[in-house]
Amino acid sequence: MKSLIKKLVETVGPSGYESKIREVIRGEVEGFADEIQVDAMGNLIIKKGEKKEGGLRVMLSAHIDEIGVMVTHVDKNGFARFTTIGGVRPHTCYGSRVRFLNGSAGVIGGERLENANHVHTIESMYIDLGASNPEDCPVKVGDVAAFDRPFEDLGNRVISKAMDDRVCSAILIETLKLVKNSPHELFFVFSTQEEVGLRGATTAAYAIDPDLGIAADVTMSGDTPRGIKMDISLGKGPAIKVKDGGMLADPRLVDAMVQCAVKHKIPYQMEVLLGGTTDAKAMQISRAGMPAGCVSVPTRYVHTPSEMVDINDVNNAVKLLSALISEPIKLV
């Protein structure tokens, strides 16, 4: 699992530019798929199995895009000004390295602050690519980059940029490989442009028209010094979402997930996230609507260049999803 996560997180793929990461994932799953499709939004859709008696048409979604930046202007001294792609926070940017799709690397700097206790705004920062003028600058207006950080293995904990949501892409890949005999018709969707508005999952859910939607995504944790007030910790199991900033999970699906975890002795936590949302929201309100929920991986430092997860939570998320979709899901 660690080697798979490393391969996924170190592939560059900001929202709207997911072709490289999509091909990496396709290489991992094509031997386990009944059908493979790439739709107009760039979603990778893997179909597996047929609906049997008591089964459902189930869509599982994990997004493959990551947050990033886009060049808006190159000044006379070769510094590239930029805007954000997705939820990039200014306080995580200064001094960070970025990698463009063309391979060029740069570091984010900023104008002198009048008060050193303040934080740079995005407008006051720039990317230094080592150029002295626009002609020497290896990027141009419209070029995109992702944050550049290597995967680090700390034992039970692993760190990298783009754990959101490549770690859950790895979870879906392993779940796809493990599920051998399911009563459900399964659609594993590796969705695009989640960070800029759940766009890929929206169109995929409309096309698939499933009976049930399950997202896999990261969630924040409340286990750091003077951190947020949230009853989620690394290492205590995957989180079963009850609510986030965009949706209320279907309580019948929440109960089914809890019962599955208890039955198979899988540790779990209950998630109430006050901000942010996942592909589950897009699925929940697609067409005439559907029951939807989410299995989340507790993550520290979400939307920074160094996100941390516990590998035991990742493996237990695979166990939970695999067990859930290998059996009839009764929503009563």
**Domain containing residue 15: CATH number:** 3.40.630.10
Question: How far is 74 from 190, CA to CA, in rounded Å?
Answer: 34
Cis peptide preceding 165, ω within 30 of 0: yes
pLDDT for residue 89? 94
Per-residue tens of pLDDT for the chain, all 332 residues: 999 999 999 999 999 999 999 999 999 999 999 999 999 999 999 999 999 998 999 999 999 999 999 999 999 999 999 999 999 999 999 999 999 999 999 999 999 999 989 999 999 999 999 999 999 999 999 999 999 999 999 999 999 999 999 999 999 999 999 999 999 999 999 999 999 999 999 999 999 999 999 999 999 999 999 999 999 999 999 999 999 999 999 999 999 999 999 999 999 999 999 999 999 999 999 999 999 999 999 999 999 999 999 999 999 999 999 999 999 998 97
Range of the domain at 83: 68-147
- Helix, strand or coil for residue 24? helix
pLDDT for residue 332? 79
The closest of 258, 262, 260 to 239, measured between CA atoms, is 258
Instruction: For residues 112 and 181, state if they share a domain.
Output: no
Instruction: For residues 79 and 42, state if they share a domain.
Output: no
Question: How far is 254 from 109, CA to CA, in rounded Å?
Answer: 45
Q: Tell me the residue type at 162.
A: A
- Counting every residue written for the chain, the total comes to 332
Give the side-chain half-sphere CA count within 13 A for 91. 6
Instruction: For residues 42 and 175, state if they share a domain.
Output: yes
Instruction: For residues 255 and 182, state if they share a domain.
Output: yes
Q: Which strand (E) or helix (H) includes residue 298?
A: strand 292-299
Which tokens go with 258?
């809890």
Residue 330 domain flag: no
Confirm whether 30 is a catalytic residue.
Answer: no
Beta-strand ranges (E) seen in 119-223 are: 125-128, 144-147, 152-153, 157-160, 185-191, 212-220
pLDDT for residue 7? 97
Instruction: For residues 135 and 226, state if they share a domain.
Output: no
Residue 332 domain flag: no
Residue 156 domain flag: no
Instruction: For residues 194 and 128, state if they share a domain.
Output: no
Using CA atoms, how far residue 219 sits from 10, 17, 294, in Å, is 20, 23, 10
Name the domain boundary from 95, 117, 147: 147
Q: Which strand (E) or helix (H) includes residue 27?
A: helix 19-29
Instruction: For residues 258 and 283, state if they share a domain.
Output: yes
Question: How far is 202 from 285, CA to CA, in rounded Å?
Answer: 9
Q: What is the CATH number of the domain that holds 115?
A: 2.40.30.40
Instruction: For residues 208 and 304, state if they share a domain.
Output: yes
Q: How many CB atoms lie within 10 A of CB 110?
A: 17
Q: What is the DSSP letter of 275?
A: S
Instruction: For residues 234 and 298, state if they share a domain.
Output: yes
Buried b / exposed e over 219-244, threshold 16 CB at 10 Å, is: bbbebeeeeeebebbbbbbbbbbeeb
| Chain CA centroid to CA 155, Å | 22
Per the structure, the count of domains in the chain is 2
Instruction: For residues 180 and 263, state if they share a domain.
Output: yes
Question: How far is 271 from 199, CA to CA, in rounded Å?
Answer: 24
Residue 154 domain flag: no
Instruction: For residues 30 and 57, state if they share a domain.
Output: yes
Q: How many CB atoms lie within 10 A of CB 24?
A: 18
Catalytic residue, chosen from 28, 194, 195, 271, is 194
Residue 12 domain flag: yes
Name the domain boundary from 114, 147, 180: 147
Helix then strand then coil, in percent of the chain rounded to 5, is 25, 30, 45
Instruction: For residues 134 and 252, state if they share a domain.
Output: no
Give the side-chain half-sphere CA count within 13 A for 264. 20
Residue 35 domain flag: yes
Residue 153 domain flag: no
Residue 44 domain flag: yes
Name the domain boundary from 147, 171, 199: 147
